[in-house]
Structure 1
Amino acid sequence: MPNNLLASLFLLGALMTATPAWSQIYRCVDDEGHVTYSNVVANKNCKRMQLEPANSAVAPARTTGRTPGAAANPTPVDFPKVSGDAQKARDNDRRTILNQELANEQKALEQAKKELAEQEAVRLGDERNYQKLLDRLQPYKDKVALHERNIQAINKELANLK
C-alpha cells in the first residue's frame, strides 16, 4: 500500500509541474483614468485581456564552431576579396600611420609634462589653500593622462598588426 501511495504522489507531483500556470489578467481603469493590470477584478471598469500563452520551450544551441555573429551574418558569395599582397600593403600603410601618430603623441606627452612641471614650480599668491593649487594643476595632469592613454592605445593597435 505505501508503494501505491508513493507512486500516486509522484504522479500527482509530475502532473502539477507539467501543467502551465494559467490565470486571467484584467486591465482596470479607475475613476481618475489610471490603468492597472491585475488578476483580480478591482472595479466595474475591468476588462479581461486575451493573452496567448508564452512559449517556454528553449531552442537547442547550435554548435557550428563559428562565432554567433558569423553564423548570423554569413559573407555573401559576391563579397570582394583582397589578395594577400594588397592586405600586406594596407597593413604596412596602417603601421606607418600608427607610427606617425605614436611619434606625435609622444611629442605631445613630453610637451604636456613640461607644461605641468612649469605650473607645479609656480605658486600663485591666492593659492594658500592647497586645494586651489590642485584645482589649477588638474587640467595639466588630465592632459598628461590623455596623451599617456593615447600612446597605450596606439601601442595596442600596433601589437595587433604583428
Structure 2
Amino acid sequence: MNPRIFLSLAASLCISPAWADIYKCVDEAGHVTYTNSKASGRGCSLLARDQAVSSVPSASRPAPAPQNGASTSSAGFPRVDTGTQKARDSDRRRILDEELASEQKALDAARRDLASQESIRTDERNYQKALERLQPYKDKLQIHERNIEALRKEIANLR
C-alpha cells in the first residue's frame, strides 16, 4: 500500500468531528441571522444539533410592513408619485431618442462601408471569397437595423 494513502487514512481516522453551538437570531425587522456565538441582542435561540439550518424564509411568516410610511404595490415595489413618474418617462424618452439617433448614424456609416467594399473589385475569381469578405459588413448592417427596430418599438410603447 502506498505510504501517502496510508498516512492520509490514518490522519482522517484520528480527526474528531467539530461541534459548535448555532444560534438563530431574528431582529426587529424580521431578518434572520445564524451565528456560532450568542449575540448580545434579543431574539437569539440555540438550535438543536439535529435541527436543519436554513436561510430560506418560511411561508408562514408575514411580510414585513412598509417602512417610512411608503405604500407598496402588489408586487412589493414602492409607489412613485405622478410627477416623478412623468419625469422618469420623459428622461427615458429622451435617452431612447438619443440612442435611436446614434444607431441611425451607425447604420448610415455601415451602409457606406458596405457600399465601398462592394465597389472594390479585387482579384477575387472565386465568388464565394467575395461573399465571405462582404459578410461582416452585411452582419453589421443587420445589427444596426435590428437595434433601430427595437428602439422604435420601445418608443412606441411609451405612455
TM-score range, shorter chain: 0.5 to 0.7
Q: Distance in 2 between matches of 1:155 and 1:136?
A: 31
5+ residue gaps in structure 2? 1-73
Could you tell me which residue of structure 1 aligns to residue 75 of structure 2? 75
Could you tell me which residue of structure 2 aligns to residue 113 of structure 1? 111
Could you tell me which residue of structure 2 aligns to residue 132 of structure 1? 129
Report the identity percentage.
Answer: 62
Q: CA deviation at 1:83?
A: 0.6
Residue of structure 2 aligned with 1:156, choices 147, 153, 156: 153
Opposite residue 117 of structure 1, the aligned amino acid is A
Q: CA deviation at 1:129?
A: 0.6
Spell out the pairing of 1:37-116 with structure 2 (5 A cutoff): 74-76=74-76, 79-116=77-114
Opposite residue 156 of structure 1, the aligned amino acid is K
Opposite residue 143 of structure 2, the aligned amino acid is L
Q: Distance in 2 between matches of 1:118 and 1:75?
A: 53
CA-atom RMSD in angstroms = 1.5
Opposite residue 120 of structure 2, the aligned amino acid is V
Question: What SS does structure 2 have at the residue aligned with 1:161?
Answer: coil
Q: Distance in 1 between matches of 2:149 and 2:75?
A: 33
Q: Distance in 1 between matches of 2:78 and 2:140?
A: 42
Residue of structure 2 aligned with 1:146, choices 143, 146, 149: 143
Deviation track 1:2-43 (CA, whole Å, cap 9, x = no partner) reads xxxxxxxxxxxxxxxxxxxxxxxxxxxxxxxxxxxxxxxxxx
Q: Which has the higher helix share?
A: 1
Question: What SS does structure 2 have at the residue aligned with 1:146?
Answer: helix
Q: Distance in 2 between matches of 1:84 and 1:150?
A: 30
Could you tell me which residue of structure 2 aligns to residue 38 of structure 1? none
Question: What SS does structure 2 have at the residue aligned with 1:75?
Answer: coil
Q: Distance in 1 between matches of 2:158 and 2:146?
A: 19
State the 4+ residue runs in structure 1 displaced beyond 6 angstroms: none
Q: CA deviation at 1:75?
A: 2.9
